[in-house]
Chains A and B, each alone.
Chain A
Amino acid sequence: MHSLIYLFQALIALCTPVNLVLLSVSTVGGILIGALPGLSATMGIALLTGLTYTMPQDMALIVLIGIFVGGIYGGSISAILIGIPGTGSAAATTLDGYPLAKKGLGREALSATTIASFIGTLFGMLCLIALTPVLQSLALKFASHEFALLAIFGVMICGSLTAEGGSALKGWLAGFTGLALSCIGYEELYSMPRLTFGNVALYSGIAFVPAMIGLFGIPNLFDNLSKLPDTQTLKINHGKNEFGILKIIKRYFFNIIRSGLIGTAIGAVPGVGEDVAAWLSYDTARRSSKCPEEFGKGSFEGIIAAETANNAAIGGALIPLLSLAIPGSATTAVLLGALWLHGIRPGPMLTFEFPDFIPYMGALLLLASLTMRIFGWAICQVAPKLLKIPFFILMPVVGVLSIIGSYALNINMFDLKIMFIFGIIGFIFMKLKIPAAPIVLGLILGPIADSNFRRALQASGGSLIPFVTRPLSIVVILLIIFTVVSQTKLYKNFMQSRKEKRY
């Protein structure tokens, strides 16, 4: 009850013209940063931390949260329109968003993701206020064993990320390839370089952003330019956009609630983040869908699941950040630095010293999501017109933007080479119909799995027994077993025969 009162007080305090203008500008800025391939919310917050240094604390918070919310949503715009996820958290959205744009449903897809992101942020915000004590204690119980198993679980879901309902093995193959590539560079336990072959540029490992841009953007560029101009088929549906917020909620109610819960819970697990939340939610939506065959070919369920989850993860990631000073994701890690810079010390004492701070952040999230909804709607009307531009003009521009995105994060020419090589690998995988998405997931999860697995073994003196005796580990192991079994032909045939019997 106190939280609600604080929330309303914060909302009233925040609703001044100056604050609202500042929030609008920063949210739109975040959307643009997120929409540009390679420029993420993490980078936006990092860039703006310095610029907000001279601002008063409350204004700086408005700018940072606006960038955060806008940035996570913005990634879906380029994912849908040009098939390149603007941010890592939008990679799952590409799988169905781009096929939808190819079918002429780009505007509808953008509408759906705007609404899903809006609801997801609200969901995360509510959880931040209501569930902080519960999730705080659960997240604290995660040790190396659970982190390692969670990463393995992440790779196992790769089986269902295969395009066109292909074999789960293709997804696992790609997932393992991503894990293998993540081994390159310094490992975390002893800081020993691995598989660098003396190349100093490889010591810091394969940068995730250029690899992601290479895998998603460059194969599209090659594929579209190799086709003759007359055979290119991207079109725009000129009919009425049937997606209103109420229709989306009505049609995908359970999907939204489930994705919101997954997003918040995964966001609250320290170090996992929005990217994994989106993938996990996408996979769960696919499994529980009545039309799983549509996933990968242009499913609204898929993009709604991914976007609700990655935005809900914002609120989730703020839970351990504010209550334990442990960032839930890469973006919140940067945000932690920004908060410190502005004299805010997150941690267990924060709620005692400033009991109204978490509701204040909730109010900020609420206003930022409203701003995002309004400007996102405006962008939905204009952005699909991009698809009218002939491919021989649009695709080279995509190439130029991909290169800026790959370079800007580390300011390293080597990252451009990584992008190019991954572009070729991505193109070969595309032709072999092996999905590229699991490679990205493997690259993200590799270091988490590696360091936590060895740390867990160190803690138990090399024994694997704690993996099967810790209650949370058992839950994750059961999830892994179910994930693997549910992707086998035997299970699929069994489910099919059950369905046939029912009807």
Chain B
Amino acid sequence: MVMDENRQKEKINFYGALGMLVFSLAFFFCSVFFISAVKNAEWYSEPKLFPVIISVGLMVCSSIYLCQNRKGYHLVAEDWARVRIYFKGIEFRRLMIAIVLLALYVFVLLGLRIGSFHLPYEGATFTYLFLNMIIFRKKGFAVWKIIAISLFLSVVVGYGFSSLAKIPLP
């Protein structure tokens, strides 16, 4: 059991380190080729100096980490089955819903304009709170309570921050 857990850890670490190595290579490439040089500046004061040093540091760390977990590269059928079970599981579905709802709130609902209609902050917040609470609620938790809580919280947060504390809201 412990052996199996250790192997799982090694696999996760290996692929995590691989991702970091790819990131460091991309960062190195961008630092070298996409940062413009300053006219008459010496090499040691160039804007790209620090990013290049950092990308090398990242590369060294991720390479060592990759080597430390090299045994984890091999994926067997059992691993794929485990991944499939996770993606089909209820936890993953709930996670995706939570991410999508937050994305909806940040990218769509806040500041939404359709023609002359402008969705106020309270409306966007109410929608976000209501959808979250209705989807993730405990069995048997009354819908009217969720509506009341969402409405109360969105009005209190909106009024409290914008009118009382004078803190600008999105």
- Please give the residue numbers on chain A whose beta carbons come within 8 Å of chain B beta carbons, in ascending order: 39, 47, 167, 169-170, 172-173, 176-177, 179-180, 183, 187, 189-190, 192, 194-195, 197, 218, 221-222, 225-230, 390-393, 395-397, 399-401, 403-404, 407-408, 411, 413, 416-417, 419-420, 423-424, 431-434, 449-450, 453-454, 457-458, 462
Contact = CB atoms under 8 A, between A and B. Distances in A.
B157 interface: yes
Nearest to B145: A393
Contacts of A39: 167
A416 B125 CA distance: 14
Contact of A403 (B54, B64, B105): B105
Contacts of B125: 400
B39 to A, nearest CB: 10
B119 interface: no
Contacts of B168: 407-408, 411
20 contacts: A47-B167, A180-B27, A180-B58, A190-B47, A192-B38, A226-B92, A226-B94, A228-B94, A229-B137, A393-B149, A396-B133, A399-B128, A400-B129, A400-B154, A404-B161, A404-B167, A404-B169, A413-B170, A423-B102, A453-B49
B105 A432 contact: no
Contacts of A226: 91-92, 94-95, 98
Nearest to A420: B106
Contacts of B92: 226
Interface in B12-55: 12-13, 16-17, 20, 23-24, 27, 30-31, 34-36, 38, 41-45, 47-51, 54-55
A176 B44 contact: no
B50 A454 contact: yes
Contacts of B132: 225, 392, 395-396, 399
A276 B66 CA distance: 30
Contact of A183 (B45, B51, B161): B51
Given A173-B61, A417-B107, A228 B90 contact: yes
A31 to B, nearest CB: 14
Contact of A454 (B44, B58, B169): B44
A392 B102 contact: no
Nearest to A407: B170
A173 B35 CA distance: 23
Given A400-B129, A434-B16, A192 B106 contact: no
B65 A170 contact: yes
A413 B111 contact: yes
A224 B132 CA distance: 12
Contact of A420 (B27, B48, B102): B102
Contacts of B44: 454, 457-458, 462
A416 B106 contact: yes
B52 to A, nearest CB: 10
B19 to A, nearest CB: 8
B16 A454 contact: no
Contacts of A177: 20, 23, 58
A69 B78 CA distance: 55
A221 B103 CA distance: 13
A173 B62 contact: yes
Given A400-B129, A449-B50, A413 B110 contact: yes
A180 B105 CA distance: 29
Contact of B12 (A393, A395, A407, A433): A433
Contacts of B157: 400-401, 404
B153 interface: yes
